[in-house]
A and B are shown apart, each in its own frame.
Chain A
Amino acid sequence: MSGSSSQGSLHALADRWLPKLVLSPTLAASLIFVYGFIAWTGWLSFTESRLMPRYEWAGFVQYQALFENERWWTTAANLGIFGGLFILFCLLVGLLMAVLLDQKIRAEGALRTVYLYPMALSFVVTGTAWKWMLNPDMGLQKVVVDLGFTDFTFDWLVNPDMAIYTVVIAGVWQSSGFVMALFLAGLRGIDDSIIKAAQVDGASLPTIYRRILIPSLRPVFFSVLLILSHIAIKSFDLVMALTGGGPGNSSDVPAIFMYQFAFTRGQLGVGAASAMMMLITIVAVLVPLMYMETRSAKRV
Chain B
Amino acid sequence: MFKNLTVGRALVYAALLLMAIYYLLPLYVMLTTSFKSLDDIREGNMLALPQLWQGGAWSKAWAEACTGVECNGMQGFFWNSIKMTLPAVAISTLLGAVNGYVVSMWRFKGSDALFTMLLVGCFIPFQVVLLPMAQLLGLLGLANTTAGLVLVHVVYGTAFTTLFFRNFYITVPDELVKAARIDGAGFWTIFLRILLPISGPIFVVCIIWQFTQIWNDFLFGVVFAAGESQPITVALNNLVNTSTGVKEYNVDMAAAIIAALPTLFVYMVAGRYFVRGLTAGAVKG
- Residues from chain B with a CB closer than 8 A to the CB of A100 are 12, 15-16
Given contacts A23-B99, A23-B103, whether A278 and B130 have CB atoms under 8 Å apart is no
**A213 interface residue (CB < 8 Å to B):** no
**Which of these binds chain A: B66-74, B168-176, B199-207, B252-260?**
B252-260
Among listed B52-60, B82-90, B118-126, interface-contacting one: B118-126
B179 at the interface (CB under 8 A from A): no
Question: Cβ of B147 < 8 Å from any Cβ of A?
Answer: no
In contact, B260 and A37 (Cβ under 8 angstroms): no
Q: Which of A217-255 contact B (CB under 8 A)?
A: 223-224, 226-227, 230, 233-234, 236-237, 240-241, 244, 254-255
A contact residues, range = 35 or more
Smallest Cβ-Cβ distance to A122: which chain B residue: B216
The answer on a CB contact under 8 Å between B29 and A234 is no
In the complex, which residue of chain B has the Cβ closest to the Cβ of A99? B12
A138 contacts B249, C-beta separation under 8 Å: yes
B266 contacts partner chain A, Cβ-Cβ < 8 Å: yes
Q: Are B131 and A262 in contact (CB under 8 A)?
A: yes
B17-50, CB under 8 A of A: which get 1 and which 0?
0011011111101100100000001100111000
Q: Is the Cβ of A114 less than 8 Å from the Cβ of B127? A: no
Grouping DSSP codes into helix (H, G, I), strand (E, B) and loop, the B interface class, with mixed when no group exceeds half, is helix
**Judging by beta carbons under 8 Å apart, are B285 and A177 in contact?**
no
Contacts A114-B24, A117-B23, A138-B249; A26 near B266 (Cβ below 8 A)? no
Report if B79 contacts A (CB, 8 A). no
Q: Would you call A263 and B236 a contact (CB within 8 A)?
A: no
Residue B133 CB within 8 A of the other chain: yes
Mask: chain A, 21-45; 1 = CB below 8 Å from B; 0 = not = 0110111011001111110110010
The minimal Cβ–Cβ distance linking A170 to chain B, given in whole angstroms, is 9
Q: In the complex the two chains form, what is the Cα distance from A23 to B216 in whole Å?
A: 28
Given contacts A121-B264, A132-B249, A182-B282, contact A271 B131 (CB under 8 A): yes
B279 within 8 A of A: yes
Complex Cα–Cα for A244 and B25 (A): 23
Interface string of A109-121 (1 = CB under 8 A from B): 0011111111111
Complex Cα gap A97–B45 (Å): 30
Residues in B whose Cβ lies below 8 Å from that of A44: 131-132
Main secondary structure of the interface of A (DSSP, over half): helix
Task: For A275, list chain B residues within 8 Å (CB).
Answer: 125, 127-128, 130-131
Contact B125 A234 (CB under 8 A): yes
Contact of B46 among A53, A97, A118, A142 (CB under 8 A): A142
> In the complex, what's the smallest C-beta–C-beta distance from B218 to chain A, in angstroms?
4
CA distance A41 to B58 in the complex (A): 43
Q: How far is the CA of A236 from the CA of B99 in the complex (A)?
A: 31
- Is B29 in contact with A132, judged by CB distance below 8 angstroms? yes
| 8 Å CB contact of B128 from A119, A138, A230, A279 | A279
Residue among B20, B129, B283 with the highest chain A CB neighbour number at 10 A: B129
The answer to whether B241 and A241 touch across the interface, beta carbons within 8 angstroms, is: yes
Neighbouring A residues of B212 by C-beta, 8 Å: 120
Are A178 and B129 in contact (CB-based, < 8 A)?
A: no
Interface residues of A (CB under 8 A from B): 8, 11, 14-15, 18-20, 22-23, 25-27, 29-30, 33-38, 40-41, 44, 53, 93, 96-97, 100-101, 103-105, 111-133, 135, 138-140, 142-143, 146, 173, 177-178, 181-182, 185, 199, 204-205, 223-224, 226-227, 230, 233-234, 236-237, 240-241, 244, 254-255, 258-259, 262-263, 268, 271-272, 274-276, 278-279, 282, 286, 290
Nearest 10 CB-CB pairings of A with B: A122-B216, A19-B106, A237-B218, A120-B267, A226-B285, A37-B129, A40-B132, A37-B132, A275-B127, A129-B26
